[in-house]
Amino acid sequence: MTHFSAELWFDFARGIASPEQNVLMHHHLEGQCGKCSTELDMWNRVLEVARREGEYSPPASAVRIAKAAYASADRWTWLPRIARMARLIFDSARQPGAAPVRGSMPHTRQFLHRAEPFVIDLRVESEPARKHVWLTGQVLNSKRPGTNVEGVDVILLSEERFIAKTLANPSGEFELEFGDERGLQLFINIHGQRAIGITLPDPES
Ligand SMILES: [Zn+2]
């Protein structure tokens, strides 16, 4: 029997699989495929927890499942493959008169990325001496600026390796703290949307 991939079941769970794919997958489930039912079940629980995170304390079992899924590196390797990359539209370090970055001094850099209709505002504070980075950001819908972007998962990977994950608040704001390293990619996973990828600059570049 041909099964469907984890990525496809994740799309299915989020309701963003194509209509044709939906029909095929429903049909496959009706055939009582245990492997795929388990996969779908896992994603449904992860999504449920992600949606409710912060609103109340979900049952310990759901938290355990979600944590295992989130912590497992291979659960996120699909992200770079399905994400669309955002376009950099502003970088404070590239502005005329921007102060050059000095070796070990703490510094802040701001970025704006666009992936229609979303705009992602990022502020990266680095402390090279401690090899530490604080990232704060906000996801905004440029077509509907007054409305909140809800259900936003933010995942940080380094060459497909899981580094950190957080859930944005109802205003689309999020923050992450991590060690300074190269090859970082940030993924903005908005409920019901194709994931958005952002390549973060390497330290000292
Ligand atoms: Zn199957």
pLDDT (tens digit per residue) in 110-134: 999 999 889 999 999 988 777 889 9
Ligand 1 midpoint to CA 133 (Å): 42
Ligand 1 midpoint to CA 47 (Å): 20
Statement: the pTM of the whole predicted model exceeds 0.85: no
Tell me the pLDDT tens digit for each residue of 28-67: 999 989 989 988 887 787 777 666 654 544 455 555 555 5
Number of residues that make up the chain: 205
Tell me the C-alpha distance between 142 and 113, whole Å.
Answer: 11
Tell me the pLDDT tens digit for each residue of 144-185: 777 778 789 899 998 878 888 888 988 889 999 988 888 899
- Which of 2-16, 62-76, 146-160 has the least mean pLDDT? 62-76
Query: What is the fold, at CATH topology level, of the domain defined by 83-199?
Result: Immunoglobulin-like (2.60.40)
Closest by CA to 132, choosing from 114, 107, 157, is 107
Who has greater pLDDT, 68 or 92? 92
What are φ and ψ of residue 58, in 5° steps? -70, 160
In the structure, ligand 1 is a single-atom ion and the residues with CB under 5 Å from it are 3, 33, 35-36
Handedness of CA 49, 52, 172, 131 (dihedral sign): negative
Ligand 1 midpoint to CA 37 (Å): 7
Domain boundaries, the chain: 6-71, 83-199
Ligand 1 midpoint to CA 74 (Å): 19
Closest by CA to 161, choosing from 72, 83, 81, is 72
